[in-house]
Amino acid sequence: MLKLREYQQDILDKLRNGFAVGYNRQILYAPTGAGKTEMAIALLDATKKKLNRGAMILDRIILCDQTSRRLDDYEIDHGVLQAGHWRFKPYEKIQVCSAQTLERRSELPGLNLLIIDEAHQTRDATKKFIDANPNLKVIGLTATPFTKGLGKVYENVISSVTTEQLVSQGVLVPLKVFVSTEIDMSGANKVAGEWSQKDATERGMKITGDIVTEWIKMTHEIFSRPRKTIIFCSGVDHGTDLSRKFAEKGYNFISVSYKDDESFKRDVIEDFAKPDTAIHGLIATDILTKGFDVPDVMIGVSARPFSKSLTSHIQQMGRVMRGSPGKEFALWLDHSGNYLRFKEDWDDVYLNGVHELDDSREKVKKEKTKEEKEAFTCPSCKALWTSATDTCSHCGFVVEKKNKVIELAGEMKELKGAMATGNHQKWWSEIYHFVENGSMNRGHAAYTFKDKFGFFPNYLKDQPVAPTQEVVAFIQSRKKAYIKSIRRKR
């Protein structure tokens, strides 16, 4: 029997309220691993019980089969709308189909609810179907609603839980990040603002040996043995090269790509998902960012640089952050530069979630300088700094105190003197007082702190202290500024 978590039920209640006030097209935002499929199944089941018709559209046939099995797990009758499929039952109230099937059929008679998986990549034919059915209730599922033009398709965003909250609840696990030998993309060609696949592949292959060596070193250093790994490579040839180099070292890494048939990819992923699999890792470009659900993956390797695709970066990290028994964290080895490139955006999404469809998220990011990159990482082990101390939490390296010191959230700031964290903790404690008394949520409080200091209070302690007049006045000034900005937009 399907049982929803409290935050999942809260999201569904908000969706229903949205429909009630006239929003027929809504985005259901929740981080990867929050259980969007379970929420979708609950909505479809509720639609069926009202004797209405609902359908879920997925990007690939393999994902349709995966969703169908989940419906079977909850003993919910349904059909798979695909000619020749053993479950072709067009009379069922719930239908699962691929976006390609919808394109061929162009209509689904009597449909009341349409749920679109991975809505940030909605196909043009699906958009046309939505436009042709203005009274149809539509829900788009996504952890990354940043695609340009999404606001023209959907009217409302429902967001009820953040990545930070899911980590604190144990639903997701935090990342332990190491910035490794980086693929050099300086001077590479770009297509529509993104580095070309050809150049990314050629340059990625130049550091294949570094990727293999670093993985061997880190999996033994941190886990004492090989652990399940997924690698996001730069292209098909890069994936093949990585697989060969791992095999030379005695490790079984399988590369999968669009060139492989669906049955091969399905069989490989199903084998990899087994607790006793002989596969050490999977390698792919983007296949593993859609519907890949193997919670006991312990290591993610980023080896495909993006200059602007925050969506791809977040989707990739989400694949290793799923919780699993005994899993306290996931290891993230960054050879792409993506983690630091998108750090500010990721910190915001991590703490605050997404509450509006904002086209400005996916723009080419300014590259950090060599000095900035070095400032974010431990000079000894290349771990991302995760505290305001001068000691690396991983290897214990102590950095010499200079004007440039590690400040909060792993960011480097030029300060007068040594560590100036006492005032930061004081401000955060006083702002956090408003969270404790219920007049402000934590995301809003963190953003207020960022307005003051330019970074989030990720690693300060949540210890409420009665606020001084200085802090109260600052919070009131931010509220007034926000109200004025809203009025200007009107």
| CB contact at 8 A, 53 and 111 | yes
Angle between helices 469-489 and 422-436 (to 10 degrees): 70
Q: Euclidean distance between the first and final Cα of the chain, in Å?
A: 47
Highest mean predicted confidence (pLDDT) among 50-64, 95-109, 210-224, 396-410 = 210-224
Q: What share of the chain is helix, strand, coil (3-state, %, to 5)?
A: 40, 15, 45
Each residue's pLDDT tens digit, 218-250: 999 999 999 999 999 999 999 999 999 999 999
Each residue's pLDDT tens digit, 16-75: 999 999 999 999 999 999 999 999 999 999 999 999 999 999 988 778 888 999 999 999
Whose CA is closest to 114, among 43, 61, 60, 13? 43
**C-alpha 94: how far from its chain's center?**
28
Give strand pairing partners of 194: 191
Residue 403 has pLDDT above 70, yes or no: no
Q: What pLDDT does residue 413 have? A: 30
More confident residue, 157 or 447: 157
Structure tokens at 79: 């059909």
Rounded CA gap, 74 and 69, in Å? 9
pTM of the model: 0.80
Each residue's pLDDT tens digit, 289-308: 777 889 999 999 999 999 99
Percent of the chain whose pLDDT exceeds 70: 91
Environment class of residue 237 by beta-carbon count within 10 Å: exposed (0-12), middle (13-18) or buried (19+)? middle
∠112-118-119 over CA atoms, to 5°? Answer: 60
Q: What pLDDT does residue 422 have? A: 65
Rounded CA gap, 327 and 87, in Å? 36
Rounded CA gap, 196 and 194, in Å? 6
**Three-state SS at 29:** strand
What is the DSSP annotation of 300-311?
EEE-S--SS-HH
CATH match of 167-367 with 3.40.50.300:
yes
Number of neighbours of residue 468 by Cβ within 10 angstroms? 12
Q: Where in the chain is the domain with CATH 3.40.50.300?
A: 6-161, 167-367
Q: Please give the CATH architecture assigned to the domain spanning 6-161.
A: 3-Layer(aba) Sandwich (3.40)
Rounded CA gap, 431 and 190, in Å? 43
- Average pLDDT score over the chain: 87
| CB contact at 8 A, 29 and 354 | yes
Rounded CA gap, 121 and 363, in Å? 17
